Amino acid sequence: MQKRLEHLKRLFGQWTDRDNRWLAVPCTFAALLVLLVMVKSCQGIVYNFSNECKIYKLGYPIEDARTLVAVLSEEQEDSLIARQEHDTIAIPVIRARYFIPDNFDRYLAFHKTDTTGATLDDIIALVNVGADQDRVTNSVPSDTSKGTLMLVNGRHYLDEHYTPDNLSTFNKNCCYENQKAQSAVVDAFVGLQQACEEQTDAHLMVNSAYRSYQDQIGTYKRNDKRYVAVPGYSEHQTGYAIDVTSLQHPEKWSFGKSKEGVWMREHCHEYGFIIRYPEKQSHLMAYSYEPWHMRYVGTDVAKRIHDEGITFDEYYAYYIDYDGAHAKPQSR
C-alpha cells in the first residue's frame, strides 16, 4: 500500500511539472489578488477609524474633510468630531483672509453662540482680537520690546513703572499746552500738520499726548469711562498716542466730521499715523469711536492697516502674534 501511494505521488509530481506548469502563473496571480483584497480590506477598516472618515460622516464633503485634516491639529480634529455636527463655517473659516489656525475652535464656538448675526469677517476679527474672551481674566502685559508696534488696549497693559525712553516736546505751534511724545511721533506730526494746513486750511493741534500711569489715574477719575482707559491700559503711556483737534474745530466731538477730520482719515497713514478707534470697527474695541485719537505705528504699517481696512489690534494679532511668514497673499 505504501509503495502504491509513493508511486501515485511520483506520477502526480511528474504530471504537474511536465504538463501543468502553465498553472503556476494564474495561481500566483490569484494568490496576489487575494492578498491585495485582504490589504484593501484592512485599509478600509483602518480608514473607518480615521479622523478624516469621522469628519466625513458628520456631513462634510470628502474634499472638505481632507482639507480640515490637512489644516487642523489632531486635538482640533478631535474637538470638531466631538461636536457631532456639520458646522457650516468650518471650511469658510479656514479659507478666510485672516484665519489663525490656533483660533479655529474659538471661531466655531463664537459662531455657535452668536445671536447678533455676525458675518464671517466679524467672527474672524472678534476672535483674533480677543473680543470673545473676558478682558479681566485674559489680560496680559504688553510686549514693550515691539517698540513702535507695542500693543496696549483693554487686554494688554503697561505696569506703573513704564516710561518711554525717547520723549520729546512738541513746539508751541503744535499743541495747546506743554505736551510730550516719542521723538518719532513729534517729527511725524510736523509733516502731518503742514500737509493738512496746505490742503484744508485747518491748523491741527495736539491737546493730549504722553501721560504717565499716575497722570492717567487723574484723567480716569475726571472723565467719562467710555472714552478713558483704566490706568495701565492707556496708549498714551506708550508715548505713541496723541489726541488731535484743530484751531477751527477745538471741540473733539465734531472733529471727525470737519474737513480736516475727513482729511486725517484719508491721509494720516502717509505720515505713519492711524485713527486708533475707527467708527466702523468700534465693536472690536474696548472703547467707542474716537476720531481724534491717533496712534503712530510707522508709515509701512499704517499704510497696510489703511489699505486692508483693519484695526491695529487685527494687524497685531495676524501679522505679529501669528507667524507672519504664513500670511496668505490674497486680499480681503
- Cβ(282)–Cβ(134) under 8 Å? no
As a residue count, the chain comes to 332
What confidence tens digit (pLDDT) does each residue in 101-156 have? 999 999 999 999 988 888 999 999 999 999 888 877 889 999 999 999 999 998 99
Convert the pLDDT of each residue in 196-231 to its tens digit: 999 999 999 999 999 999 999 998 888 877 778 899
71/217 same-domain check: no
- In eight-state DSSP terms, residue 275 is E
The pLDDT of residue 182: 97
Residue 235 burial (CB count, 10 A): 26
Residue 60 lies in a domain: yes
What is the Cβ-side half-sphere exposure of residue 136, based on CA atoms within 13 angstroms?
A: 0
Q: Is the same domain home to 81 and 226?
A: no
DSSP 83: T
In this structure, the answer to whether residues 166 and 274 fall within a common structural domain is yes
- Quote the number of domains for the chain: 2
How far CA 275 is from CA of 157, 263, 291, in Å, comes to 20, 11, 6
Do 165 and 216 fall into the same domain?
yes
- The answer on 229 and 165 residing in a single domain is yes
Tell me what the mean pLDDT of segment 17-40 comes to: 54
Can you tell me the distance from the alpha carbon of 244 to that of 241, in angstroms, rounded to the nearest whole number? Answer: 10
Residue 179, classed as helix, strand or coil, is coil
Structure confidence at residue 304 as a pLDDT band (50, 70, 90) = very high
What are the grid coordinates assigned to 186, written together? 513729534
pLDDT value for 9: 55
Reported as a pLDDT band with limits 50, 70 and 90, residue 43 is very low
What pLDDT does 222 receive? 85
284 secondary structure, DSSP code:
G
The reply to whether 123 and 159 lie within a common domain is no
State the cell numbers at 321: 502674534
Query: Which residue type, as a one-letter code, is found at position 73?
Result: S
Query: Which range has the top average pLDDT, 2-16, 40-54, 167-181?
Result: 167-181
Do 162 and 285 reside in the same domain of the chain? Answer: yes
Are 221 and 307 found together in one domain?
Answer: yes
Phi then psi for residue 263, to 5 deg, are -60, -40
Mean pLDDT of the 305-328 span: 84
Residues 224 and 285: their CA atoms lie apart, in Å, by 16
Residue among 281, 300, 301 at smallest CA distance from 291: 281
Average pLDDT over residues 167-186: 94
Please report the pLDDT score of residue 274 as a whole number.
97
Q: Are residues 186 and 88 in the same domain?
A: no
Same domain, 172 and 308: yes
Same domain, 181 and 89: no
pLDDT at 40: 47
Bridge partner list, 175: 206
**β-bridge partners, 245:** 205
Which domain range does residue 290 map to? 140-326
315, 304 Cβ separation under 8 angstroms: yes
- Pairwise CA distance, residues 120 & 111, whole Å: 9
Same domain as 167, residue 59:
no
pLDDT per position as a tens digit, 226-269: 778 899 999 999 999 999 999 998 888 889 999 999 999 999 99
Task: HSE, CB side, 13 Å, CA atoms: give it for residue 258.
Answer: 23
pLDDT of residue 86 exceeding 70: yes
Task: Please give the pLDDT value at position 207.
Answer: 93
Write the pLDDT tens digit of every residue in 53-74.
889 898 999 999 999 999 999 9
- Residue whose entry in the numeric block shows the C-alpha cell 474637538: 79
Cα 331 → chain centroid: 14
Residue 292 has which C-alpha cell? 481724534
Tens of pLDDT, residues 322-331? 965 454 544 4
Considering only residues 98 and 47, tell me which one the structure prediction assigns the higher pLDDT: 98
Q: What is the mean pLDDT of residues 270-286?
A: 83
Neighbours of 145 (CB within 10 A): 7
